[in-house]
Amino acid sequence: MPYQLTDSVQTLPGIGPQRAKKLEKLGIYTARDLLLWYPRSYEDRRESCPIREAPEDRPVCVKAMVATPPRLSRIRKGLELVKVNVVDDADAMELTFFNQSYLRTALAPGEVYIFFGRVERKGSRYLMTNPAFEPERNRRFTQCIMPVYPLTAGISNNLLAGAVRRVMEDCAQQLEDPLPGAMQREYQLCHTGYAVETVHFPPSWEELEVARRRLIFEELFFLFLGLSMLKGSGQGKPGITAQRKDPADYAKTLPFQLTGAQRRTIDQCFDDLCSGIAMNRLIQGDVGSGKTVVAAACAWLMAQSGYQTALMAPTELLAEQHQKTLAPLLAKSGQRVALLTGSMRAKEKREVYAKLEAGEIDLVIGTHALLSEGVTFRALGLVITDEQHRFGVGQRAALAAKGTGEKRPHVLVMSATPIPRTLALIVYGDLEVSIMDERPPGRQEIQTVLIGEDKRQRLYGFVRKQVQQGHQVYMVCPAVEENEESALPGAPPLKAVTAYAKELQESVFPDLRVGLVHGKQKPKDKEAAMSAFARGELDVLAATTVIEVGVDVPNATLMVIENAERFGLSQLHQLRGRVGRGSDQSYCVLISAHTNPDTRQRLKALCATNDGFALAEEDLRLRGPGDFFGSRQHGLPPLKMADLAGDTRVLYQARDAAQTLLHTDPQLTCPENRRLRERVLQLFEEHRDTFN
């Protein structure tokens, strides 16, 4: 009986219950899962030559006969050698295998094998160490491009390659092609069966490219379909039209000159706001790039035409902070501004409600309280949300729904998390993106250094010095409680902030004022600690990443990050943005005992630049999109194939294909699109309820 896609891997030769268990760890249960377990790289084993013609700089395949029985020798405990002599028509070669004593019986004298390895010359002798090999009469994994799979303990690459190959023979053509035929023709995509087969066992690099492109397209296409369906199709809806005004008229009310990026972004927003079509725009800019000014300019423009603006922030403290930042930006332009947060007294709230309804407030700044039922606007024209990654798409929409009348309010999203363009396209698929990649003049770069445990005492001295100069210090730990999350094996334990704060206060800085803030505190305690720090009543704030989205404390000049290896680049950059907000030189100290070269490369990248976009690209390259947002806050399905840092062209094509399809059938309800819809639902399992 031929294998079926749904067969358990256990039915394959060489895979019993134990290996099946190990494969489960990789998420491989069935023959289909095996086929969809793509190689992470390849080894070119196509070149073959006689022993004497072998190049010395690269591995090649050599056909040779085993001439002597393999000899086993124990050099010392834990080091065993197997040596074998092999010959071809003209020469002899000595093979050495380390710690593979089973080979003593695997290599049969008189039998011809293909050995893949690098041939070394020592005088007149030829040597090869640890070659891959197989009998010539049963050749599968030599003289070909060999897939290299992501593995787990107890599962070898050959085992996986063999199993995949076996399944492929029977099942590749059973894979149903999820893409409509017309689409395959339009975008010149090969058939799925061919693509999968070629990705595992490519006859040539050119064919591999064709196959990869097809699989990447498919992956991104479904991703876009799902995301667009999730977001609903708010695009191109008629929007409120503001009267055109010259941005310079607003700019002259400001106490400073706009940066080029601010001017450009304001122009883009004004175009949108006056276009008659609802704006959906994301402003991405590093902390301190001056996004709030753009928000203020937009609110100003709307107010000129009699429309109101609502600005929503993720916490009360941030809402208050916005008001403080905005006050000087609005002082001269005569806008009427109010704050609305959940903790305000009922009477105060009612006052704000009344004024909003009467149109006596131009700009309201608040938290989720803005979404509550009591809130009605006279004429809501613009909704601004800050720190996008804290809000769901749903909340943005809920606020926009408070608009009255036929036309939708404009939506502006501000994000301080620079993300690469390609990823922005996916995460914010329905948004236009403005990038603010310039800081107001006169800002200092934050000096960042990476240190190990040996410099801890010096660091404490530096902390003390900053405080003596009247500054404040953040000290960040990855965990709240001890052993809440175990450190990597062999690594020093993770710093836990509760114990850390206690230690700092009791033994290290008994004479300083040390505070504590973390995500498991009650919101009230959290805000209390943050405001105490903001008011200068604390010298040192021991914290978890909750401070990432925090209040501005221009007096804080030093950020210390413990177990820095535990954080992604973007997150470290975000944390670092908490300092350097005043005019004094600021510092960030990363502490890590890790010696892993990848980790060190990541941390060094942070020391080398203050450019959030450059770091975001690097982060994406190093970690892949799945990890990019930490705990997959966006519910993005993981991508197996697409390299978002590189595959931009296919990305645009896949997006076009998805948009074209959804244009005619927004929720994929037509019978001929049922299969596509099923597939999207499967992919976005977590969001099943949201699709309708």
Kindly tell me which residue out of 416, 463, 564, 661 binds ligand ADP, with binding defined by CB under 6 A: 416
Q: Taking the C-alpha atoms of 503, 506, 509 and 512 in order, what is their torsion angle to the nearest 10 degrees?
A: 120
Which residue, 258 or 412, is less far from ligand ADP as judged by CB?
A: 258
Least distance (Å) between residue 321 CB and ligand ADP: 8
**Residue nearer to ligand ADP on the CB measure, 30 or 321:** 321
For ligand ADP, the closer CB: 280 or 289? 289
Confirm or reject binding of residue 312 to ligand ADP (CB under 6 A).
no
Quick check: 368 binds ligand ADP (CB under 6 A)? no
Binding of ligand ADP by 291 (CB under 6 A):
yes
Q: Is 288 in the site for ligand ADP (CB under 6 A)?
A: yes
Strands 112-117 and 132-135, bridge-based pairing: antiparallel
| 292 sits near ligand ADP (criterion: CB under 6 A) | yes
Q: Which of 325, 385, 466, 673 binds ligand ADP (CB under 6 A)?
A: 325
Residue 629 makes CB contacts below 8 A (sequence gap 6+) with: 389, 636
Minimum distance of ligand ADP from residue 402's CB (angstroms)? 24
Binding range to ligand ADP, per CB under 6 A, among 251-259, 350-358, 494-502, 645-653? 251-259
Angstrom distance (rounded) from CA 577 to CA 554: 11
What minimum distance in Å lies between the beta carbon of 444 and ligand ADP? 13
Q: Closest separation between CB of residue 443 and ligand ADP, Å?
A: 8
- Euclidean distance between CA atoms 151 and 141, whole angstroms: 17
351 vs 611, beta carbon nearer ligand ADP: 611
3-state secondary structure of 540: strand
Q: Choose the stretch contacting ligand ADP; rule: CB under 6 A; options: 9-17, 23-31, 282-290, 654-662.
A: 282-290
Sequence-distant (≥ 6) Cβ neighbours of residue 256 within 8 angstroms? 440
Give the three-state DSSP class for 558: strand
Give the closest residue to 36 by CA, choosing from 82, 5, 72. 5
CB of 256 to ligand ADP, least distance (A): 4
Of 234, 619, 262, 235, the residue nearest 423 (C-alpha): 619
Regarding beta strands 120-122 and 125-129, do their DSSP bridges make them parallel or antiparallel, or are they unpaired? antiparallel
DSSP code of residue 417: S
Taking CB under 6 A as the rule, does residue 290 contact ligand ADP? yes
Q: Smallest distance from the beta carbon of 560 to ligand ADP, in angstroms?
A: 22
- Within residues 430-489, the interface with ligand ADP by CB under 6 A covers 440
Assigned token pair, 513? 């004022």
Q: For the range 663-669, what are the long-range contacts, defined as Cβ-Cβ under 8 Å and sequence gap of 24 or more?
A: 666/229, 666/233, 667/229, 667/691, 667/692, 668/225, 668/229
Among 259, 308, 570, 586, binds ligand ADP (CB under 6 A): 259
Find out whether 218 and 178 touch, Cβ atoms under 8 Å: yes
Q: Which stretch binds ligand ADP (CB under 6 A): 216-224, 237-245, 250-258, 588-596?
A: 250-258
Among 60, 168, 199, 258, binds ligand ADP (CB under 6 A): 258
Amino acid at 660: T
Assess contact for 571 and 548: CB atoms under 8 A: yes
| Among 142, 143, 198, 289, interactor with ligand ADP by CB under 6 A | 289
Cβ 578 to ligand ADP shortest distance, Å: 11
Q: Which is nearer to ligand ADP, 283 or 650 (CB)?
A: 283
Q: Which is nearer to ligand ADP, 440 or 624 (CB)?
A: 440
Contact region with ligand ADP (CB under 6 A), list: 67-75, 79-87, 254-262, 334-342 = 254-262
Token couple for 235: 């695009």
Report which DSSP code applies to 504: I
Choice from 60, 287, 517, 538 touching ligand ADP (CB under 6 A): 287
Amino acid at 648: T
For ligand ADP, which is the closer residue by CB, 289 or 673? Answer: 289
- Exactly one of 114, 119, 293, 543 binds ligand ADP (CB under 6 A); which one? 293
Q: Both tokens of residue 259?
A: 């940066």
- How many residues bind to ligand ADP according to rule CB under 6 A? 16
User: How far out from the chain centre does Cα 656 lie?
Assistant: 23
DSSP string covering 425-472: HHHTTTSEEEEE----TTPPPPEEEEE-GGGHHHHHHHHHHHHHTT-E
> Segment contacting ligand ADP (CB under 6 A): 21-29, 252-260, 358-366, 530-538?
252-260
Q: Which window, 99-107, 289-297, 469-477, 505-513, contacts ligand ADP (CB under 6 A)?
A: 289-297
- Asked if 384 interacts with ligand ADP (CB under 6 A), we say no
Q: Compute the residue count for the chain.
A: 692
Residue with tokens 């020391």: 607
Q: Which residues bind ligand ADP (CB under 6 A)?
A: 256-259, 262, 285, 287-293, 325, 416, 440
